[in-house]
Amino acid sequence: MGHSAHQTQSNQALIGIIVALRNCALALLWLGLTPGVMPTAALGAPQPAPGTERLERSWQKLDAELQALDRLLPSEPEPPVGDVLSTPPLPANLIRANQAPSGPIQPADSVASPPLDLPTPQQLQAAGVVSLSLEQALAIAFANSASLQAQREQVAAALASFQAAMGSYWPTISAFAAGGYEGSRTTTTANKPNDNLGFGPQFAPNGLLTPTGPTAGAFYVPDGGSAGVTSGEWGGEGGLQLNYALLDFARTPTVRAARARLEQLRNSYANQLRSLQLQVSEAYYQLQQDEQLVRIYDANLRNDLLILQDSLDLKQAGLVPRLDVLRRRAIAATDEETLIQALADRAVARRQLAVLLNLPANVTPSPSDPIVVQPRWPLDLEASLLAGYRGNPELEAILAARTALAQQSQATAAGLLPKLSLFASGGGSSSQTSLGDFTIGGGGCCGSTVLPLSTTNGWDWSVGLTFTWLLFDAGTTAAQARALARQEAATAQQYAASRNDIRLRIEQAFFNHEASLAKLSSARRGVAAALEAFRDVRLRYLTGLDSELNLSNTQDRLINSLVQRLNATVDVNITYAKLLRELLPVPRDPALPIQPQLQLPSSSQP
């Protein structure tokens, strides 16, 4: 990269040397001291004077140096121009980007594309130019701006957070329920008989006498006797639970902090409305200026061609030297470059306005309003400063942020204080158990009561208090509270900086507005005088009473006067828009409608 920059600087220095040498050559041509354009007296002399020979040798040396330097530059991509009146065609893409509007903007053309979409090739190829006024541009920007829409979403999120914080003053009631099925298979085996328990004949192996002989008692279990059963249980439970913070020192500061954050974002939204109006106004005025510059430079180039034709006619009549034609050709080429750059600037300014308005990819805006000078700012500097401070959303947002930090610091510090909460719950449960698929082995066992199908129901409730108090956290909570307090102190300095910035912006815009009005008055007189001077010098040039050099200088002065008047006009409007940005009344609530205002309303004036 360093070698490339060094090479670029060398080329620029080389081109500067060439330009200087060529200027010397043009000066010699103008003086009539070159061999090809010698004065008549010198051509008729039998031998050149010694001074002339030195000039010829200097010219030959200069010509050799120019040719050597020309060989170091890249070759021309196009052959030399044969017809001095011919002009190369403009780039097709540049012409397409500067085409005239097809008509006023339609409602369908102002609908923004979805935020996650990219332009398609068809949309880019079908791009058209539409005209719109500044008031329409502001209305579209307020509706389409992606950054403004994001700010609206942030305000809505802050409102939801505030509503959530307000819910902490109310108890929470929750319902709970559970249900399911559980199945199991169990087998019980006796590892020794139970006839030695002394419980009587019902537990003896031959404790009962029957007509057929003695039999085991009803509860006798032999060694190795077993019983198997499959069980299944359906069950469910449900109830209500209540929790309520009776004593919470962090609750009120948290709610106040959420409200302050909501106010901060609402004021930030209002301040962004002001900034967006200024951005759109500046872009629109800049596009108006670029449109007018194209017209001025186009008229200048057309005038160059007319004067060039006059110079050719006068040269053929022997009234002016060849130098006049060459100079006019160079001037026309330079003015053509200026026009080409003006076209490019206008194309870029159109796209800049389209981006601010968030228009669809196939829509390019063009101003329909004529350039009209805004009136003088109705307030003096002191009244403007006082009105700029009063209710300024930029300052109000900082104050709201400071309040939010203070309340958040209190809420954090309240974490070291005790908390008391009430809880209560109540509910019931029910289950159904079924037993089946009985099996016995080894003589059987376990003759306990078996219920094939049973139901169990129950109810329960509870109520109580919960008391918590953080006794030790190694200073974490206190440090967090101190950090928020420091941030609160920092916002005070931010307020002072913003207050000073607002004053500087108002004073800069006010003084530049006054200067622009004064410059506009001078520029109007300058244009009138330059126009009359150009008419006179052109007539004198056509009649041979004046030189082409004086004509060129007068033409440059006329174009400069026109540009200065245009710049002064646009500066008046831009400085007015900057002053309006600081005093413009705007809504804080995104749900309220926005009415574009191009001038300071009477309600804002004292």
423 in a structural domain: yes
Residues 177 and 37 in one domain: no
Going from the C-alpha of 419 to that of each of 250, 270, 410, 465, 473, the distances in angstroms are 9, 40, 15, 10, 16
Q: Is residue 464 part of a domain?
A: yes
The reply to whether 345 and 486 lie within a common domain is: yes
Residue 46: pLDDT over 70: no
Based on the fold, state whether residues 280 and 384 are members of the same structural domain: yes
Q: How far is CA 105 from each of CA 116, 299, 365, 532, rounded to the nearest angstrom?
A: 24, 28, 8, 40
**Structure tokens that stand for 325 in this block:** 């034609």
For position 366, what pLDDT does the model report? 94
Same domain, yes or no: 388 and 440: no
Q: What is the CATH number of the domain that holds 265?
A: 1.20.1600.10
Domain that holds residue 278: 125-161+254-404+479-604
Q: Is the pLDDT of residue 18 over 90?
A: no
In a domain, 194, yes or no: no
Same domain, 400 and 543: yes
260 and 347 both lie in a single domain: yes
Dist CA 527 CA 280 (whole Å): 29
Per-residue pLDDT reduced to its tens digit, 272-323: 999 999 999 999 999 999 999 999 999 999 998 888 888 888 888 888 888 8
Read off the pTM.
0.76
Q: Between 168 and 21, where is the model more confident? A: 168
269 Cβ partners below 8 Å, 6+ apart? Answer: 148, 151, 152, 154, 155, 393, 588, 590
Considering the chain, what is the average pLDDT of its residues?
A: 84
Domain assignment of residue 83, yes or no: no
Distance CA 339, CA 423 (A): 81
Same domain, 296 and 398: yes
Q: What is the pLDDT of residue 82?
A: 56
Note the pLDDT of residue 79.
60
**100 lies in a domain?**
no
Total Cβ atoms within 10 A of residue 130: 18
Residues 363 and 431 in one domain: no
Q: Report the range of poorest mean pLDDT among 39-48, 131-140, 310-319, 471-480.
A: 39-48
Same domain, residue pair 266 and 355: yes
* Among candidate residues 72, 102, 133, the one where a domain is terminated: 72
Alpha-carbon span 336 to 492, nearest angstrom: 55
List the beta strands (DSSP E) in 224-315: 226-247
Q: Give the number of C-alpha atoms closer than 13 A to the C-alpha of residue 85, restricted to the C-beta side.
A: 11
What percent of the chain is modeled with pLDDT above 70?
Answer: 86
pLDDT above 80 for 489: yes
Highest average pLDDT, of 53-57, 142-146, 600-604, comes from 142-146
Confirm whether 243 is domain-assigned: yes
Is 118 within a domain? no
For 43-58, b/e burial (b = at least 16 CB within 10 A) is: eeeeeeeeebeebeee
434 class by beta-carbon count within 10 Å (0-12 exposed, 13-18 middle, 19+ buried): middle
**pLDDT tens readout for residues 173-231:** 999 899 999 989 888 888 888 878 777 777 787 777 778 778 877 778 888 888 888 88
- Note whether 228 and 114 are within 8 A (CB): no
How far apart, in whole angstroms, are the C-alpha atoms of residue 446 and residue 219?
Answer: 8
16 and 31 share one domain: yes
Q: Give the per-residue pLDDT at 85.
A: 58
In tens, the pLDDT along 374-392 reads: 999 999 999 999 999 999 9
The total number of structural domains in the chain stands at 3
Q: Is the pLDDT of residue 442 over 90?
A: no
Most distant CA atoms of the chain, gap in Å:
179
Residues 490 and 437 reside in one and the same domain: no
Whether residue 332 sits in one domain with residue 261: yes
Residue 115: inside a domain, yes or no? no
Q: Examine the fold and report which residue of 53, 72, 91 is the final residue of a domain before the chain moves on.
A: 72
Continuous segment of H or E residues that includes residue 363: strand 363-367
Tell me, what's the pLDDT at 606? Answer: 63
Looking at residue 185, its pLDDT comes to: 86
For residue 308, the model assigns a pLDDT of 87
Average the pLDDT over 534-540 and give the result. Answer: 91
Taking residues 496-521, report their average pLDDT: 96
Q: How far apart are CA 90 and CA 76, in angstroms?
A: 18
